[in-house]
Amino acid sequence: MSWSKLKQNLEGFLAPALQGKVEYRATSYSYLTGKSGNCYITVDKKNIFNMNDKTSPITWYQSEIEIKNDPNLRIPISMDEIEALRKETNGAVPEDRLKVMARNRKMNGLAKELLSAQTALSKSNFTATATKFLATPIDESLEGQDILLNILALMDRRVGKKRILSMSDSVKLKHPIVQYFHGLRL
């Protein structure tokens, strides 16, 4: 599918509140063989979604330590996770320490997921992923691990306000760029 047709299809699915505010853009290097173009998403004419842009307001993590030390990343811990840890330690650990251990354990798993998702995203082709988005059900795109599919689904008009509001807790565990577009949609 050509870029202009793909762009037209993607922008046709934008939520009414985002039309004119969000744009899909692409650059191409036809004079360089083997060099693919660069696709990105702008909001209010500002480049928001482009991993290679260092001026982006979104944090792109380079290591697990950066994720663990990010003060803006909030990780909700459920009582079930604390209870499982309590059983695992046979109740020998104080309550406040259990919370810290549960948060650290969850943070380790989240850090690995975020880095693997970012790595897959940097290697992926925007146009291939966008074409996949247009062909798959919206639920799969929302619930999957692919950052770009999550973003495209969040901006889709088929996802209503109630659904966006009900996703608030699950979005906290996703990459900051997904959280940004969730907040934009709210």
pLDDT tens by residue, 2-42: 878 988 999 999 999 999 999 988 776 555 555 555 677 88
What is the C-alpha to C-alpha distance for residues 138 and 156, in angstroms, rounded to an integer?
A: 8
119 domain residue, yes or no: no
The residue with greater pLDDT, 125 or 165, is 165
Mean pLDDT of the chain: 82
Q: Alpha helices, DSSP H only, in 20-88?
A: 64-69, 79-88
Looking at the fold, whether 172 and 93 belong to one and the same domain comes out as no
Looking at the fold, whether 174 and 129 belong to one and the same domain comes out as yes
Task: Characterise 20 by phi-psi region: left (phi > 0), alpha (psi -120 to 50), beta (else).
Answer: left
129 domain residue, yes or no: yes
Looking at the fold, whether 101 and 134 belong to one and the same domain comes out as no
Q: Is the pLDDT of residue 75 over 70?
A: yes
Looking at the fold, whether 51 and 69 belong to one and the same domain comes out as no
- Residue 159 tokens read as 């996802």
Q: Is the pLDDT of residue 53 over 50?
A: no
What is the C-alpha to C-alpha distance for residues 57 and 92, in angstroms, rounded to an integer?
A: 44
Under the banding of pLDDT at 50, 70 and 90, the label for residue 65 is: confident
What total number of domains does the chain contain?
A: 2
Range of the domain at 173: 3-57+124-185
Looking at the fold, whether 53 and 68 belong to one and the same domain comes out as no
- Residue 161 tokens read as 């306000």
In percent, the amount of the chain with pLDDT more than 70 equals 84
* Average pLDDT rounded to a whole number, residues 170-179: 85
Backbone angles phi, psi at 24, to 5 degrees: -100, 130
Q: Alpha helices, DSSP H only, in the chain?
A: 3-12, 64-69, 79-88, 95-123, 126-135, 138-143, 147-154, 161-166, 168-171, 176-185
Task: Express each pLDDT in 87-136 by its tens digit.
Answer: 988 888 888 898 888 888 888 888 887 777 666 665 457 788 888 999 99
